[in-house]
Each structure stands twice: as C-alpha cells, then as structure tokens.
Chain A
Amino acid sequence: MPRIGRWVIALPMALLAIATIYPVLFTANVAFKSRREYVLDRFAVAESFGWDNFATAWTRSGLDRYFVNSLLVTAASVLLLILIGSMAGFAFSHLSFRGSRLLFAGCLGALLVPFQVIMVPFFRVLVDTGLLDTYPGLVLAYVSQFLPFTIFLMTSYYAGIPRDIVEAARIDGNSPFGVYRRIMLPLGRPALVSVAILNALYCWNDVLVALLVMQSSEHRTLMVGITALRGQYSSDIPTFAAGVLIAAVPLLLVYLVFQRQITEGVTAGSTKG
C-alpha cells in the first residue's frame, strides 16, 4: 500500500459499514417493539422479543399468501430461464448455423429494451393472450425480461469449454441435444448456479412487473404485499417493520449461503480479459 496511514482510511470505512448495516438493524429492532415502546424510545433495544407484530403481518395482512405466490413464480421463472438460456447459450457458443450471429445479436439487443419501455404494449399483449393476472403471465414476463442476460452469461461461459469435448461427444454418437443434456448441462453447473441465484433475486425483489401483471389481491407477490402493508399500517410502524423483515429474511439467508456465487455472477459479464 502506498504511503498513507491505514487507519486514516479504516475509520471512514468503518463508519460506512455502520451506515450500511444500521438501518437494517434499527428496523429489525422496531419490528419486535410494541407501538408504545416505539413511540417512547426509538433506539432502545426491544423490551421483550415478542412475535405479535410478525403474526399480525403474516396472517392478518395476507403476507403468508403473497409469500407462497412469490415462491411459486420465482421458482418457475428460474427453472425456465436456466433451461431456455442454457440451451441457447450452448447453441450460440458451440454449434455453427446459418443466422446464428444475427440471432445472438438480437438476443443481446433485447438488453436495450428494459421493461419500462414496453410496459404499456406488454399489458395489451397479456390482455389479448388471456395471460393478464395469471401466474404463467407473470412467469413469462420475468423469463422474457431476464433471458438476454442469462443467454449472455451462459454463452460466454460455454465458450470457455473446449470444442474438443463437444466433438468427441458427437463422434460417440450423441445428437446435439444429447451433447447439451449429457455434457453441457453438467459442465455448466457453476454458471447455472450463479445465474439461477441472480435471477431468483431479481424475480423475488421485483415490484413493477408484478404490480402491472397481477391485478387481483390474492395473486399479489410479497413485494406488492409490502407496499400495500405500508398503507394499511402507516400508523403502526412496528407491524410494518415486521412485514418488511419477513420479506427480507429469505434474502438474508440467500446472501449468507451464496455470497460467492452472487458476486461471481455479478462480475462475470463485466471485466473479462
């Protein structure tokens, strides 16, 4: 390290770490407080770590239902994304066929079309196909939104797998699909895990697409449920905080378990070479 006092830098970094973590801890503490405790003293540690606020948010506000909706939609979207994305990634990286460059450019070009830009006509397409306010409608929305990124990552990952392996498998009598299923799918596991986790985070965390596609309240996803909870409990901050914590806990767990895969996925497309 160049000549500069390490601790002169370490101090602001420590302060920033506190600024990063404190708002979350504060909210977690509030979630365990009674309304009276919260009004009297915002900062004191909760007197008794009761679960009343969580029970209220979970059952009476329907978060239980929204939680299951989010799980279903996220799981289905991620499965479809890694299946469709890895198939295309294999074809683009290892099979030569007429029009492949054009199709690949088209798939990447879709990165330029964020959901906000096509939101209005997308709504019309869902109405026309009868997919509005349905689970398949939301799943297709997520798949179409995150597919370009998935294809890009899978293509660049598969491009790093030697062609000889594919050739050998072909000579052993595998069809291209056989090569995909027996060779590429297993070899692609590290990339697939990263892509799956990143896509799961995106789907779980989204609110815009879910607000647009899911019209009826029983189809709400968890994040939409949280925005509704805010209106419902605007004067009962502890219950609102409990709902927020319920929505955040799965993310905290995913982060703790998969931190390495998440950061690898984030950086995979950025700085190769």
Chain B
Amino acid sequence: MTVGTASAPARAAELSEGRRWAMPERAWPYLLVAPAVLVLAVFRFYPLLLGANFSLTGDGEQNGQFNGLANYVEIFRDPVFGSALRNVGLLILLLPVAVAVPGLLATFLFLHVPGHRFYRSVYFFPVVLSPVIIGAIFNIVLAIDGPVNVLLGGLGLRPVEWLGDPGIAMFSVVAVHIWATFGMALVIFLAGFATLDRSLLDAARVDGANLAQTIRHVIVPGLSRTIQFVVVTTMIGMLTSMFGLLYVMTGGGPGSSTYLPELYIWVMQGEMNRPALASAASMVLFALMVVIGAAQIRILRRATKEA
C-alpha cells in the first residue's frame, strides 16, 4: 500500500466525516509528525545547508569570507585526502569479498549444514559489539608481540606488522571490519532466502545440478534484490562506520595509509582547526553517499509500497 494515500473507500469515508471533525482534528497529523520533522530539519537539513555554505568560505582569519572552490582545490591537492580517496577505491574493490563471504555462508546455512543454527548465532554475534571494542580487541590480537604473531612464529614465520606496515594496515582494518559485520549481511541474506521459491531448488536437484550450478542459475537470480540491498548497505557501512575502528586501531597511520574521508573530516575539524576545509571534504563524502544512497532509497521505497 502506498504510504500517505488512502484507498478510495477510505477517502470517501474521510470526506464525509471531514465535516463532522472540528478544525483542530485536521491539525492532528501535523502535530504527530511535527517533532520528527522539526528534529530532522534543525539537526540534519539545516546543518547540511550550513555545511555546503562553509565549504565555500575561508578558514582562520578568512573565517566566513566567500572564497569559491578554493577549499575543494586544496583538499584535492592534499596527499592525505588523496590517500583517503584511494582507500575508498580499495573498499570498492574489496566490496565483492564483503558481499560474497556472507552470501556463500548464508547459502550453506540455508542448505542446512550440520549445526547451522549454532553457526548463525556465532557469526552474528560480533555485529552487536561496538567498533571501539572490536578495535581494542584486535589491537591486542594483532600487536607486534600479540597472539597472531606468536602463532606465526610457532609456524616458523616472521612476525607481521599488521597495523604498522603502510602496505598492510588498511587491509588489516578492512578485514577486521568485514569480520565484525559479515553477520549482518548474512542475516539479511537468510531473510532473502526465506522468500526464495523452493520448487526451483527442488527442480535443480532433480536435474542433477551441483552446488556451483545451483548458486549460479537459481540462487543468484532469485536473490537479485537482496544482493542489491546488501551491496548498497555494505558500501555505505564501509564509508560511514569504520571511524571507530580507524580511531582505535591506527588513527589513520602509519603515514596516511589508513585514512578514509570520515577520518579526514574529523582530523581537519578537530585537530587542524580547519572547519571550512573539513566541510569541503564532507561535501565530497556526501556526493559519494548520494550516488550510493539513491539506489538504497529506491529499494526501501519499493519495500514500503509492498508492505
């Protein structure tokens, strides 16, 4: 049903009752949505406009003076921001892994591997832990003299600087992020599987399809909408919920190898005292989000209409 639009009989009933209702009655819907609309207008949309404006003004002594696109030119020349954007590119490259791992696991769980209920609970459990707690745990586990390296040593391998080597650190952080969030995507996949047509699976089995063929010809087409949704939410999650991990695990270092736009915004605003520059970076992140989020809203809308 379409939200906010009454069906024909309901509308007719409303028209006939409209005369009976006193004026304030018509105000009720507005009173009910007013707190939500006010909060979002004041604390979400007004700051967005303000930020767009900030991004076109100067910092420090030039505070508030219009300076065109100077901030944008500056951040795109800043090697640290360049590093943050390159890491966004890396996230996009690693996105298939972050989707395929939970997708494959959900397939196995759906096909009732022995112990599937237990696995489902275990895999989902890190989802409730905060990035700070997870970052802290992996600070201990991945330390240069930590258990992972002790294990490597036991195998006769040299210790790895998981968080101290600029070529490795970002992969470590992304791996931990995937470790922490694959349970979420897994559960969404399982919900998608619940809507999958069982008879197609049975037909595939009768035809003698192996697992790879079943996945390719039955499961992937049947779950296309779920896969879309997981791709979009995973990407948004990577762009907006790794701050806690980065802050605790690497602080952007070594060098600028583990920066993402959100951390760049934080550092420019809080440590460098360059709010206008941070606002320009915010607008770049916003542009990224709009592109990804437009897809999300389309999917959410469709879900509401069918509810």
Contacts and interface: CB of A to CB of B under 8 A. Distances in A.
Bind each other: yes
B133 A30 contact: no
A244 B296 CA distance: 34
B156 interface: no
A119 B266 contact: yes
Which residue of B32, B283, B293 has the most chain A CB atoms within 10 A of its CB atom? Answer: B32
Given A16-B105, A116-B265, A121-B279, A107 B40 contact: yes
B137 A27 contact: yes
A216 interface: no
Interface string A106-124: 1111111111111111111
A108 B138 CA distance: 35
Given A13-B108, A263-B187, A167 B303 contact: no
A232 interface: no
A134 interface: no
A62 B29 CA distance: 46
Contacts of B226: 270-271
A159 B131 CA distance: 34
B33 A262 contact: no
A267 B150 CA distance: 39
B265 A120 contact: yes
Contact of B112 (A1, A26, A244): A1
A96 B11 contact: yes
Contacts of B119: 13, 16-17
B124 interface: yes
B136 A226 contact: yes
A84 interface: yes
A120 B124 contact: no
Given A84-B39, A88-B32, A175-B28, A255 B125 contact: yes
12 contacts: A9-B113, A20-B126, A92-B33, A110-B40, A112-B293, A112-B297, A116-B265, A144-B39, A207-B243, A251-B130, A252-B128, A273-B306
Q: Which 10 pairs, one residue from A and one from B, show the smallest C-beta to C-beta distance?
A: A205-B130, A273-B306, A144-B43, A100-B4, A121-B50, A176-B28, A267-B191, A97-B29, A88-B36, A121-B47
Interface of B: 1, 3-7, 10-11, 13-14, 17, 25-26, 28-33, 35-37, 39-40, 42-48, 50-51, 54, 105, 108, 111-115, 118-119, 121-133, 136-141, 143, 146-147, 150, 179, 183-184, 187-188, 190-192, 194-195, 204-205, 208-211, 213-214, 225-226, 229-230, 233, 236, 239-240, 243-244, 247-248, 261-262, 265-266, 269-270, 275, 278-279, 282-283, 285-286, 289-290, 293-294, 296-297, 300-304, 306-307
